[in-house]
Amino acid sequence: MSTRTIDAEPERAEPARAPEAPPSPAWNPLARIGFRFVVAYVTLFCFGYPQLVFAFLGPLARLLPDDAVFGFATLPSPAVEWLGRTAFDTEAVLSEDSGSGDQTYLWVLVFGLLLLAVAVTVLWTLLDRRRTEYRRLAGWFLLLTRMFLAGQMLFYGFVKLIPTQMPEPALSTLLTPVGELSPMSMLWTQVGSAPAYQILLGAAEVLGGLLLLVPRTALAGVLLSLVSMAQVWVLNMTFDVPVKLLSFHLLLLCLVLLAPEAGRLTRLLTGAAAGPARTPQPVRGRRAVRVVAAAQVALAVWFVAGILPSSLEGWEKWGGGRERSPLAGIWDVTEFTRDGQPVPPLLTDETRWRRLVLEEIEFAHYQRMDDGLVPVALDLDTAAHRLTLTSMQAADPAATPEPLGAFGYEQPAPDRLLLTGELAGRPVSITLTLLDADRYPLRRGGIHLVQDFPDLG
């Protein structure tokens, strides 16, 4: 007989609970230490090396002074200079007018970041011994690394896509013997003489940067960036381009991003099932994932809005869209008169000109009889038909440079130029004839699908 009464309260069912996610497996101690070091070093490099953080300013970067990157780079200069003297017995001073990314100062700076990363790793290991894994932190770290890499891929990609990094070979380059070109100049001449090739290189880098900023295509972006940066680093190493330090680290960022997926890619290459993605994610939940994805796409737009206008401006200033001299061309000296007397074209004459090269608005070259090219500053007054050349190799940089030559000019025909005035303080009269620059094989360009014999110049 049941003892349950009619007014007894019925038993209430427990509310259903969402199944808890299984705990992440513990990492082995070496993996944890290695992760701490990689996080410390990559983070310090991305924030401490000049240039990388400026991509995140987007269009705001245009409001900064021209020397902003240099100023940022010199912030740790007291520590870097001390480290240079102490560890390497050298003066590690950053030169603003160098343009080199492989200066002693930058190498010492990166060495200091390496030492600091080791110290951070040791301290982190001592203070965080009990933590067994860092998957959530790894997700945020890889996301941030991807953003830094994307910014540089877009920056270097756009200056190739709008071909300004390696401009078309200058007219003076056409007169320079190949043996006198440095390996870097040879590379710049090679790529600049084939704009389509440079544009394709830039397109690959821009595409890699954009793919990095879309979560679903991030792995494809890493792979494309890896191939692009590997080529860039090899070229920098073999042609002695002074961007070896940065290009190596951009290649390193690609490898760091690829590390979680290395096993999947290996299985895919061997024909096995690749399995699910292994890259840790910074957030969970559909809404959080959408927010992070939208932020990455917005960052892509922000990057492009900052980099593209600068690349277009570079095209107008020093690329193919720049303003050229109204007298642009290679002018061959056919007659040279000094003090009223004709000067024969003797190879031993160090004062007679062989050619005058006019291309830029403010600079020119004259070629001596021994074929040496001398750069000079140019002041061209087309209204007054006056042309002034000033030496760019003054003995005293603080002194006001004196004109090397001042001439009045006439152009009786498009291919003829007459200069009358003084050169090195002596009256001269120079007659010049315009050479056809397209006669040089380097300027022929084009693609010849049918070619019975190679064009070897």
Domain assignments of the chain as residue spans, ordered by start: 29-317, 329-441
pLDDT in tens, the chain (457 residues): 444 444 444 455 555 454 455 567 899 999 999 999 999 999 999 999 989 999 999 999 989 998 899 999 999 999 999 999 999 999 999 998 888 999 999 999 999 999 999 999 999 999 998 899 999 999 999 999 999 999 999 999 999 999 999 999 999 999 999 999 999 999 999 999 999 999 999 999 999 999 999 999 999 999 999 999 999 999 999 999 999 999 999 999 999 999 999 888 888 888 887 778 889 999 999 999 999 999 999 999 999 999 999 999 999 988 889 999 999 999 999 999 999 999 999 999 988 999 999 999 999 999 999 999 999 999 999 999 999 999 886 544 555 566 899 999 999 999 999 999 999 899 999 999 999 998 888 887 777 788 877 777 6
Q: Compute the distance between CA of residue 92 and CA of residue 326 in angstroms, rounded to an integer.
A: 44
Q: How many beta carbons lie within 10 A of that of residue 217, not counting itself? A: 14
Q: Compute the distance between CA of residue 151 and CA of residue 234 in angstroms, rounded to an integer.
A: 21
Measured CA distances, 325 to 102, 186, 378, 416 (Å): 34, 25, 10, 15
Residue pair 84/104 in contact (Cβ under 8 Å)? The answer is: yes
Report whether CATH 2.40.128.20 matches the domain 329-441: yes
pLDDT digits 0-9 by tens, 231-269: 999 999 999 999 999 999 999 999 999 999 988 888 888
Q: Compute the distance between CA of residue 131 and CA of residue 118 in angstroms, rounded to an integer.
A: 19
pTM comes to 0.88
